[in-house]
Homo-oligomer: A and B are copies of this chain.
Amino acid sequence: MRSYILTLNCPDRPGIVNAVTGALLEVGGNITESAQFGDADTQTFVLRTVFESDRDESAVGSALEDVEARVDGRIRVRPADRVPRVLIMVSRQDHCLLDLLHRRRTGDLPIDVPLVVSNHMDCADIASRYGVEYVHLPVTTDSKAAAEVELLALVETHRIDFVVLARYMQVLSNEVCRALAGRIINIHHSFLPGFKGPRPYHQAHARGVKLIGATAHYVTVDLDEGPIIEQDVARVSHADSPVELATIGRDVERMVLARAVRKHAEDRVFLIGAKTVVFP
């Protein structure tokens, strides 16, 4: 028996789940997990179903082709054990990178990481410890365009499923944002929509907030405006300097980013307009 993850996105209407479960019965599918949501605003229906079957991938796929046509939507099925290939981008700060790579090693995160890309050399040592190739792509005003071309080429040649900006401090061009739409996750070190842009911990300190946060979101051409996947906060006090906020914040950042990466890697996140559906 093999385990498969099915995801479906289609216009909402009666009969969808019946059609899908009917097709799964045909291939001897036994559902082990299922979650669904109908979005009232857009009349969109999304479904994530995990099932076991003794048929191979193409048999399963064929059985669902009919359904896809009937529900006028898009069905994807993949073996649960074929984990996504992730390219991680970092700058100087290493806490998110170390966290992701260690979770990957212990098996907590179901991803492969063939490549780390950075505009600095600071994190090369960590990548090397975890046996991951490290590509140094320096970014200057002059080199940025070429660096981005190379980045997209790396995504292509390494068959990358999605990109994670693990405290990557460069703004990507609109071209890259569009090329990787829905496949690139950023961690921003504030509780969005508060404190967009640079130096959010300094902004938080100046405003005197009593909680700081972090937000994992898909990258879009509008800086820090992309669909939010996960957020969390930590309590701070008047006594905390911006440096101490950053120290406290690093824990929130890495936890929030790890949760978002896991959700995306397990196909639990669906994009509906500018928002996400995230299944538990």
Given the known interface contacts A106-B95, A208-B227, A228-B207, the answer about A14 and B28 at a Cβ–Cβ threshold of 8 Å is yes
- Rounded to whole Å, the gap between the CB of A138 and the closest CB of chain B is 24
Contacts of A208 in B (CB 8 A): 227-228, 274-276
Residue A177 CB within 8 A of the other chain: no
A35 to B211, CA, bound (A): 21
Residue A180 CB within 8 A of the other chain: no
- A232, B207: Cβ atoms closer than 8 Å: no
Interface residues on A, range: 35 or more
Residue A3 CB within 8 A of the other chain: no
A251 to B22, CA, bound (A): 40
- B207, A233: Cβ atoms closer than 8 Å: no
Residue A230 CB within 8 A of the other chain: yes
- B238, A211: Cβ atoms closer than 8 Å: no
Q: List 9 A-B contacts (CB under 8 A).
A: A14-B28, A14-B31, A18-B25, A31-B38, A35-B35, A40-B241, A192-B194, A192-B209, A211-B232
**3 residue pairs, one from A and one from B, having the closest CB atoms:** A208-B275, A18-B21, A194-B194
A261 to B83, CA, bound (A): 36
- B14, A18: Cβ atoms closer than 8 Å: no
- A38, B32: Cβ atoms closer than 8 Å: yes
Contacts of A17 in B (CB 8 A): 17, 21, 31, 34
- B238, A210: Cβ atoms closer than 8 Å: no
Residues of A1-44 at the interface with B, using a CB-CB cut-off of 8 Å, are 13-15, 17-18, 21-22, 24-25, 28-40
Contacts of A35 in B (CB 8 A): 35
- A14, B29: Cβ atoms closer than 8 Å: yes
The residue from B98, B195, B210 contacting A193, defined by CB atoms under 8 A apart: B195
Residue A280 CB within 8 A of the other chain: yes
